[in-house]
Amino acid sequence: MTSENKLSHTLRRMFSLHPKLIDFNLSRLKLLMKKLNNPQNSLQNVIHIAGTNGKGSTASFLKEILEYHNLTVNLYTSPHLINFNERIRIKNKLIPEDKLVEILEELEMKNKSLPITFFEITTAAAIVAFNRNPSDVNIIETGLGGRLDATNIIENKKLSIITKIGFDHIEFLGNKIRDIALEKAGILRKNVPVIIAKQKNKTAHKTLIECANRLKSEIIDVEDISSNTLLGLRGDHQYENASTAYTAAKKLIPLISLPKTNLALKQTTWPGRVHQLGQGKIINYRENITILDGAHNEDSAYVLDQYLHKKSLGKWNLIIGMLQNRNVKDFVNIFKNHINKVFAVSIPEIENSYSPDQIIAKLKKSGLQVHPAKNLENALKLADRKVPLLITGSLYLAGYTLRFNQTKIN
pLDDT confidence tier of residue 223, bands split at 50, 70 and 90: very high
Find the domain containing 256 and state its range. Answer: 3-267
* Statement to judge: residues 378 and 283 lie in one domain: yes
pLDDT of res. 353? 94
Q: Is the pLDDT of residue 394 over 70?
A: yes
pLDDT of res. 168? 62
* Statement to judge: residues 82 and 204 lie in one domain: yes
* Statement to judge: residues 233 and 145 lie in one domain: yes
Residue 409 within any structural domain of the chain: no
Q: Is the pLDDT of residue 215 over 90?
A: yes
228, 245, 267 - which closes a domain? 267
- 3-state SS class at 269: coil
Would you give the distance in Å from CA 159 to the centre of its chain?
19
Q: At what angle do helices 118-132 and 27-35 cross, to 10 degrees?
A: 30
Residue 26 within any structural domain of the chain: yes
How do residues 306-348 score in pLDDT, each as one tens digit?
999 999 899 999 999 999 989 999 999 999 999 999 999 999 9
pLDDT confidence tier of residue 68, bands split at 50, 70 and 90: very high
* Statement to judge: residues 174 and 311 lie in one domain: no
**Which domain CATH number covers 32?**
3.40.1190.10
* Statement to judge: residues 194 and 308 lie in one domain: no
* Statement to judge: residues 49 and 106 lie in one domain: yes
User: CA 83 to CA 81: how far, in whole Å?
Assistant: 6
How do residues 19-37 score in pLDDT, each as one tens digit?
666 677 899 999 999 999 9
* Statement to judge: residues 45 and 121 lie in one domain: yes
Give which of 77, 25, 71, 22 is closest to 49, Cα–Cα: 77
Q: 10 Å Cβ neighbour count for 98?
A: 12
Residue 298 within any structural domain of the chain: yes
* Statement to judge: residues 181 and 328 lie in one domain: no
Residue 344 within any structural domain of the chain: yes
pTM comes to 0.93
pLDDT of res. 2? 66
pLDDT confidence tier of residue 247, bands split at 50, 70 and 90: very high
pLDDT of res. 344? 97
- 3-state SS class at 298: helix
Domain total of the chain: 2
Q: 10 Å Cβ neighbour count for 1?
A: 8
User: CA 201 to CA 267: how far, in whole Å?
Assistant: 31
Are residues 53 and 163 in contact, defined by beta-carbon separation less than 8 angstroms? Answer: yes
Which strands form 159-162's sheet, in the order they lie side by side?
93-94, 88-90, 73-76, 137-141, 46-50, 159-162, 194-196, 219-220
The contacts of residue 170 (CB under 8 Å, 6+ apart) are 180
Most confident segment among 176-180, 188-192, 322-326: 188-192
Query: What are the residues facing 201 on neighbouring strands?
Result: none
pLDDT of res. 9? 82
Query: What are the residues facing 147 on neighbouring strands?
Result: none
pLDDT of res. 14? 75
Q: Is the pLDDT of residue 170 over 60?
A: no
Q: Is the pLDDT of residue 139 over 60?
A: yes
202, 234, 267 - which closes a domain? 267
Residue 10 within any structural domain of the chain: yes
267, 283, 299 - which closes a domain? 267
**Which domain CATH number covers 298?**
3.90.190.20
Residue 410 within any structural domain of the chain: no
Residue 306 within any structural domain of the chain: yes
Q: Is the pLDDT of residue 4 over 70?
A: no
* Statement to judge: residues 251 and 371 lie in one domain: no
Of residues 170 and 299, the one with the higher pLDDT is 299
Query: How confident is the model over 215-222, as a mean pLDDT?
Result: 96
User: CA 199 to CA 241: how far, in whole Å?
Assistant: 12
129 residue type, one letter: A
* Statement to judge: residues 157 and 62 lie in one domain: yes
Q: Is the pLDDT of residue 231 over 90?
A: yes
pLDDT of res. 10? 83
pLDDT of res. 19? 62
Residue 227 within any structural domain of the chain: yes
* Statement to judge: residues 335 and 362 lie in one domain: yes
- 3-state SS class at 273: coil
* Statement to judge: residues 226 and 281 lie in one domain: no
